[in-house]
Structures are given as C-alpha cells and as structure tokens.
C-alpha cells in the first residue's frame, strides 16, 4: 500500500471515486461518512466540489479508505461465494416431476437429505404460473391444517374456520385455473391429508407434485399404508426415489462454486458420496466454514482449509 502522507493525492480523482462508490453502494452521506471516518456534513460538500476547507486532507482519507477496500476485495477474490440455484442431474430429475405435474397430473419424488429438492422446487415456482407451494411438517400433517396451508398459499382467505367450507372454496377457486401445487416434505402428511389432495386433483384438474424423503415413496408403494393410498398411487404419473447423490451432482456443485482445485474437488466428492452424509448440503457447510477460515488467514481458499472444515465437523468429546 502507498503511504499517502508522503505523496500528493489527486483531489479530483478521489472526488470522482467517492461519488461513484457512494452511488454503487447506495449509501446515505451519513453512512458513507461513517465508513470513511469523515462527518457526512463534510464529505457531502467535498464530493460536490463546494467544500471550503482543506480538500487535500479529505482526499488523503478517502484514498486510504479506497486502498483498504481494494485490499479487502483482493483477499475475497479467492473466497468462493454462494452462486444461488444451479442445475444438477438430480435437480433436472426433480424439474421433470414438476413439469409433468404442471400439466395437471400427480407426481411424487422421494429424495435423501441434501440433494437440493426444496431449492429446485422454489426455483421452478418462479418459472410457471399459476403455481403454489406448501411445506408440511409435524404440526400441519393432518388434513385440517393442510387445508389451511393451501388456503393461505393460493390466497383464498376464507372467513370460515371449518375445513369442509374452506375446501369447497378452494375447489371453486382452482376450477378456474390450471394450477400446480408443490407439496414439500409430503412424507409428513397423514393418509386423510394425502387423500384430500387427490380429491382436489380429481375435481379441479389441479396438478400436484409430492416431494419428500425416501419414506414417502415407500408409504405409497410398499408400506403398510399402501392399500389405503391405492387411489392416490394409481393416479401418480411418475415417481422417482433417490437415496444418495451422484458424482454429477458434486461436480455441478464444485463448478457452480468455482472450486477448481483437484484436491478440494476430490475431498468434497468423497464426503458427499459417503453413506449417511448430508450430500450437497454438507459440503456446502464445509465450504462455508472453510471460506471463513481462509478469510481470517487473509488468503484464498486452500485444500488445507477444506480439510480443517471436514475434520472440524466431527464430534469431539473432551475429557
């Protein structure tokens, strides 16, 4: 870094940079001043070219701030950042289930944790319309709470609390649309709740995609509830069960996160494909932890950081 006390600073250049930085970061003058260490009431007239005081002193302070920002950005260049949603072979299978359901049919997918099921569904939700999504859990597993979830998701807003009346209003609403309903964590739903979804599909043409863990497909096809769910099962156009990631999923993860070091990719592959692992979710957490360690070291992400993050996830009992 340059020690600006011994060199002249271009006041006009610092003014232009400060104006551009404030605009890019969408900062108020007070916020910008707090970052730079100059009162906003002083910084604003300097940037507008109307400051009557020592402009070179302010320019030097801004120059130091700019150097610190550039140094921080250079350090972060080697730190991977969250790419958001990205396609994987498993995600494309889930998209197929969703696309089929969007035509008015029922599909089901059972996936082990960490394969991107929910993120894929949320991404698909933004691509088609009308489409709605609910997420089941232990509290909303029964038919009544599930009906209320759907009521809220589609925006019916019934003034009544009786499930039968709400269901009738949902049917009236859905008959006017060719809609898709995505039910995440559907493995939690009771037989009665699943049957209600099937009844809505029969009466309105509602497309439904049931997503959950592997147990969802077992319940539908081989479990002790199979006979009770026979009518729903007979209407499922396509079902997929996948209890582990595949190599292509991990490769897509590494590519999306810009992890090109062969050692890092091999280690993440080993972790993700290990029986009982959290798949992509687990290696995401590993990379996030390793990235924090790399940032603290002031350098780019290295294999040593990832190895540390893998070992740090193990349970250690100190005696």
Instruction: Look up the domain containing 9 and give its range.
Output: 4-76
Contact 80, 25 (CB under 8 A): no
DSSP character at residue 237? E
Q: Which residues contact 134 (CB under 8 A, 6 or more apart)?
A: 140, 146, 149, 150, 153, 181, 182, 183, 184
Residues 196 and 210 in one domain: yes
pLDDT tens string for the chain (319 positions)? 455 555 678 888 889 888 888 888 889 999 999 999 999 999 999 999 998 888 988 999 999 888 888 766 655 556 788 899 999 999 999 999 999 999 999 999 999 999 999 999 999 999 999 999 999 999 999 999 999 999 999 998 777 778 899 999 999 999 988 899 999 999 999 999 999 999 999 999 999 999 999 999 998 888 788 888 999 999 999 999 999 999 999 999 999 999 999 999 999 999 999 998 899 999 999 999 998 888 777 778 889 999 999 988 776 555 5
Residue 318 located in a structural domain: no
The CATH number of residue 43's host domain is 1.10.260.40
Contact 15, 56 (CB under 8 A): no
Residue 223 located in a structural domain: yes
223, 242, 261 - which closes a domain: 242
Residues 215 and 130 in one domain: yes
Residue 136 located in a structural domain: yes
Residue 198 located in a structural domain: yes
Residues 42 and 132 in one domain: no
Based on the structure, what is the number of domains in the chain? 3
Contact 80, 259 (CB under 8 A): yes
Residues 236 and 93 in one domain: yes
What is the CB-side half-sphere exposure of residue 195 using CA atoms within 13 A? 13
DSSP character at residue 124? H
Single pTM value for the model:
0.75
Residues 48 and 178 in one domain: no
Residues 11 and 62 in one domain: yes
The CATH number of residue 127's host domain is 3.40.50.300
State the Cα–Cα distance between residues 195 and 185, nearest whole angstrom. 16
Residues 115 and 221 in one domain: yes
């Amino acid at each position: 870094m340059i020690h600006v006390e011994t060199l002249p600073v271009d006041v006009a250049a610092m003014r232009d940079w400060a104006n551009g930085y404030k605009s890019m970061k969408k900062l108020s003058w007070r916020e910008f001043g707090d970052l730079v260490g100059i009162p906003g009431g002083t910084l604003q007239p300097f940037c507008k070219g109307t400051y009557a005081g020592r402009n070179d002193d302010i320019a030097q302070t801004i120059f130091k701030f700019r150097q610190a920002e550039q140094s921080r950005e250079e350090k972060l260049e080697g730190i991977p950042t969250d790419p958001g949603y990205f396609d994987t072979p498993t995600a494309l299978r889930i998209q197929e289930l969703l696309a089929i359901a969007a035509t008015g049919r029922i599909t089901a997918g059972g996936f082990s944790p960490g394969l991107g099921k929910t993120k894929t569904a949320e991404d698909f939700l933004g691509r088609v319309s009308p489409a709605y999504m609910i997420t089941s859990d232990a509290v909303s597993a029964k038919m009544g709470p599930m009906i209320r979830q759907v009521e809220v998701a589609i925006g019916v807003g019934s003034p009544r609390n009786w499930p039968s009346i709400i269901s009738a209003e949902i049917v009236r609403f859905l008959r006017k649309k060719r809609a898709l309903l995505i039910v995440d964590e559907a493995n939690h739903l009771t037989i009665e709740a699943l049957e209600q979804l099937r009844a809505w599909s029969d009466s309105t043409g509602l497309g439904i995609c049931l997503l959950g863990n592997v147990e969802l497909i077992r319940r539908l096809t081989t479990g002790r509830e199979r006979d009770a769910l026979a009518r729903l099962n007979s209407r499922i156009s396509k079902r997929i069960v996948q209890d582990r990631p595949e190599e292509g999923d991990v490769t897509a993860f590494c590519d999306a996160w810009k992890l090109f070091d062969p050692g890092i990719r091999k280690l993440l592959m080993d972790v993700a494909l290990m029986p009982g692992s959290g798949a992509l979710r687990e290696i995401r957490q590993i990379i996030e932890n390793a990235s924090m360690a790399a940032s603290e070291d002031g350098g780019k992400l290295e294999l040593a950081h990832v190895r540390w993050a893998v070992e740090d996830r193990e349970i250690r009992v100190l005696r």
